[in-house]
Structure 1
Amino acid sequence: MNIDDLHLFVRIARLRSISSAARDLGFTPAGASARLAALERKLGARLLHRTTRQATLTEDGLAFLPHAEQVVLAAECARAALGREQAAPRGTLRVAAPASFARMHIVPGLPDFCGHYPDLALDFRISDSIVDLVEGAFDVAVRYAELSDSTFVARRLAPDQRVLVASPEYIERRGRPNTPDDLADHACLVVGTLDLWTFRGMGGELIERRITPHLRINDGAAVRDAACAGLGIALMATWCAADELRSGALVPALPEYTLVSTQTLWALYPSSRELAPKVRVFIDWLTERFGQQPYWDRGLDKFLGSS
């Protein structure tokens, strides 16, 4: 049984499209259909229901898929053991990542990554909505929270530290709050649903406040820009607001209190006995790029305190 045919079947099953899988693997749609038909003849079973819009697994296809996936992964790992595949993984890597984070901290580094792995094509889905990794056929996802789903493995990439900020113009106009309770008298800007803000007081006590937002936007960069424009006080991730803090476009709004964040940046990928080479090199690259202390947090100690 041809490994390439199994790889094609697995890709079609994940993407639910013969033409998309063919494009990923360098086949023509007609060629992919012919190879799939030949595989079904060898097996004596129909693996997929085909329509003009999509391909879905038959009952036999559902039973065959996990075994095909294991064979394909084993073949990739066997090539990696020779050293060549690890240096130059091939195929298409499908990645899901938060929109603002990807634009600011992943996409700018892609020329470096692609320069090391010119035979690896990238297919990115950047969105602040949580996507289904299996449904979307993603190989790896960058997320702010670790999943409890045991079918995925989470690898820590970087801390996701938070700081309360406002523009100097807003502080001059409205004054600086002295305690978390004072936020009720201020215009607060909220990213998505993150309206429960947790602080550590000067005595080490934890203080939680549910914020009624003056402005809510489901995009961190847009909230940062609104804060820079003087619209209010915002809870921001340092990866999003580091440059503005360094330049003075944003200043700490409640400096005596430290924001407590339970967020961490993780890379998630399907669990298996072996990690596909293309996934491994991408996650290793992210880990090296961000480092033990992410580059965006360097020099921000005076803004962060200790949490």
Structure 2
Amino acid sequence: MNIEHLKLFVRLAVTHNISQAGQELGLSPAVASAHISKLEEGLGVRLLHRTTRKVSLTQEGEAFLPYAEEVLASVEMARASVGAGSMAPRGTLRVTAPASFGRMHLVPSLKAFLAHYPHLSLDLRLSDSIVDLVEGGFDIAIRNAELKDSSLIARKLAPDQRIICASPEYLKHYGEPRSPQDLLNHQCINLLGLETWVFATASGPASIKTHGQLRTDNGEAMRDACVSGLGIAISSTWSVYQHMARGELVQVLPNNPLIAHTAIWAMYSSARQLAPKVRAFIDFYAEYFGEEPYWDKALPGA
């Protein structure tokens, strides 16, 4: 069984296009088609349904896919182990990440990452939607939500500290809340589904059902509305640290921290061995961000 044929098959399962999958591996459409035909002949089954526009996996192809992925992961691990791991990570690493975090903290650091691993190429997809890591064909998903899928393994890359903030303009006009209960008398800007804020107080956790004229499904829009003086909002420090340094936002209720079990996680499938390219990405960013990431060090009073 040819390893290059398996690589092409795995990419086809993601792209559903022979030309695109072949191009990613440096193959012409004709050569890519021939490789798949040879793989099918060797197995004695049809792996793909072919049309003029796209391909899809047959039932046999669906059953074969996880084994093909496991073989490729094992080969990559075996190559990396030769010479006590002297083999440099290589190939295409597919990563999905939240749009805001990706733009602010992944993209600016990619030059250093790719310079450190010159044999790697990166396919980075930024989306605020929760993308299925396995179905989407991704090696790594960056998330700042709690891990709910037991089939995934999570590695913490950085803390995700969340605070309450407002613009000086808003606080000058409406006053500063002195307790979590005071928020009931304020305009609060919310992300959809996160209207209840839970605070640590001397008497225990306090849950406040906040309200306001604006709700949004985008963290950057919420932050920018807060900077504009539309209300008080929860924000991650990685999102607002620059605005706080410029004095455009200030922290509200610093003595009543939010109760939130959040962090920046790198997730990967537990069904696969940890490929060198995946380990390289995770190790690089765990060190790059560190226990106290640069955005927290830049906060006023830090």
* TM-score category of the 2 structures, normalised to the smaller one: over 0.9
* Counterpart position of 1:269: 268
Mapping of residues 289-304 of structure 1, within 5 Å? 289-298=288-297, 300=299
* Counterpart position of 1:33: 33
How far off is 1:84 after superposition?
9.3
**Is residue 2:94 matched to residue 1:64?**
no
Q: Could you tell me how far apart the structure 2 residues matched to 1:222 and 1:50 are?
A: 43
Q: Could you tell me how far apart the structure 2 residues matched to 1:275 and 1:53 are?
A: 34
**Percent identity for Structure 1 against Structure 2:** 52
* Counterpart position of 2:208: 209
* Counterpart position of 2:256: 257
1:226 aligned partner, one-letter code: A
Q: Could you tell me how far apart the structure 1 residues matched to 2:4 and 2:84 are?
A: 18
Q: Could you tell me how far apart the structure 1 residues matched to 2:53 and 2:194 are?
A: 38
How far off is 1:154 after superposition?
0.9
* Paired residue secondary structure (2:141): strand
How far off is 1:193 after superposition?
2.6
Q: Could you tell me how far apart the structure 1 residues matched to 2:197 and 2:190 are?
A: 10
Mapping of residues 1-307 of structure 1, within 5 Å? 1-82=1-82, 88-201=88-201, 203=202, 205-272=204-271, 274-298=273-297, 300=299
1:152 aligned partner, one-letter code: L
Q: For each residue in 1:111-135, what CA deviation from the matched residue of structure 2 results, as whole angstroms up to 9, or x when unmatched?
A: 0011122232211111111111122
Superposition RMSD in Å = 2.0
The runs of 5 or more residues in structure 2 that have no matched partner are: none
Q: For each residue in 1:276-303, what CA deviation from the matched residue of structure 2 results, as whole angstroms up to 9, or x when unmatched?
A: 1111111111111111111111154858
The runs of 5 or more residues in structure 1 that have no matched partner are: none
Q: Could you tell me how far apart the structure 2 residues matched to 1:54 and 1:2 are?
A: 23
Q: Could you tell me how far apart the structure 2 residues matched to 1:3 and 1:55 are?
A: 20
Mapped contact 1:164–1:253 kept (Cα < 8 A): yes
Change (3 A) 1:297 1:290: same
Mapped contact 1:14–1:134 kept (Cα < 8 A): no
The range that moved more, 182-191 or 95-104, is: 182-191
